[in-house]
Amino acid sequence: MDINKKFESHFVKSRDQIKKDPSAVGQAVYDILRKPQQPMLVEDILDQYQHAYVRKMQEVVQDQINKYDPPFYIVVFSKKEHWCELVMRNWFVARQTCPSPKFLRHEFPNHMHTVYSYDKRNDRIEVLWTLPTKQDSDTVLKNPHLYDRELVRYITDFEKNNLHPACIAA
C-alpha cells in the first residue's frame, strides 16, 4: 500500500499547495501530527523507503556519471528527525574522492554515513561502509550480538582507524 495514499485524509494542504508555498511544510507536518495516526505496518514503511532510496540513488548516478572519472563516490547522509519517529531524511552527495570516515564523523556527527563507490566501466555500485552516529555506534558495541555482523565490523574498523584504507588518507 502506498504510504502517501494512507495519509491523504490527513493532509490539510495538498501537495501542489505545499510545492507552491514551501513555508507551509511546517504547518502541514504540525497538522498531520495533531491528528491520531493510523497504525502502519513496518513492511509498508520499509517498502516505500527502499523504493525511494533506490530511485534517488539511480538519479544521482545518472546525473553524475559524466561529471566524474571512474570510480566516483556517493555519500548518503541519513538523519532521524526528532519531531517524528517515522521520518528519516537522506541526502545524497556525489564526489570524485573517497571521503575520510573521521572527517564525516567530525563534520556531520548527527548523521549516519553510507559510502558507495560507483564505477561506470563495469556499471557496478559497491557499499564501502555504513557508519552510524557515535551514540548509535556505542550502543551497537555494547551489544554486538544484537546487530548485523557487518555493521559491527564497520564500527570496530572505524575505531581501529582501518575502516576503508583507500579513504583514510583522503
- The pLDDT score that the predictor gives to residue 80 is 79
Q: Alpha carbon of 25 to those of 18, 36, 168: distances in Å?
A: 6, 19, 39
The mean pLDDT of the chain is 80
- Strands in 124-131's sheet, in edge-to-edge order, are 88-95, 72-80, 112-119, 124-131
pLDDT bracket for residue 9 (50, 70, 90): very low
What is this structure's pTM?
0.71
- State the Cα–Cα distance between residues 4 and 10, nearest whole angstrom: 10
pLDDT band at 8 (very low <50, low <70, confident <90, very high): very low
pLDDT above 80: residue 137: yes
14-18, 123-127, 148-152, 158-162: which has the minimum mean pLDDT? 14-18
162: pLDDT strictly greater than 80: yes
Average pLDDT of the segment spanning 6-29 = 53
State the cell numbers at 1. 500500500
According to the model, what pLDDT value does residue 155 have? 95
Count of residues in the chain: 170
pLDDT of residue 6 exceeding 70 = no
Burial 120-147 (b: 16+ CB within 10 A, else e): beeeeeeebbbbbbeeebeebeeeeeee
Query: What is the model's pLDDT at position 135?
Result: 92
pLDDT for the residue numbered 50: 79
Strand blocks (E) in 20-144: 72-80, 88-95, 112-119, 124-131
**In the chain, what percentage of residues exceed pLDDT 70?**
68
Taking a C-beta distance cutoff of 8 angstroms, is the pair 45, 83 a contact? Answer: no
Whether the pLDDT of residue 19 is over 70: the answer is no
Q: Tell me how far apart the alpha carbons of residues 95 and 26 are, in angstroms, rounded to a whole number.
A: 31
Q: Decide: 137 and 122 in contact? Cβ < 8 Å.
A: no
C-alpha span between 145 and 140 (Å, rounded): 9
> Residues 102, 52, 39, CA angle at the centre, nearest 5°?
105
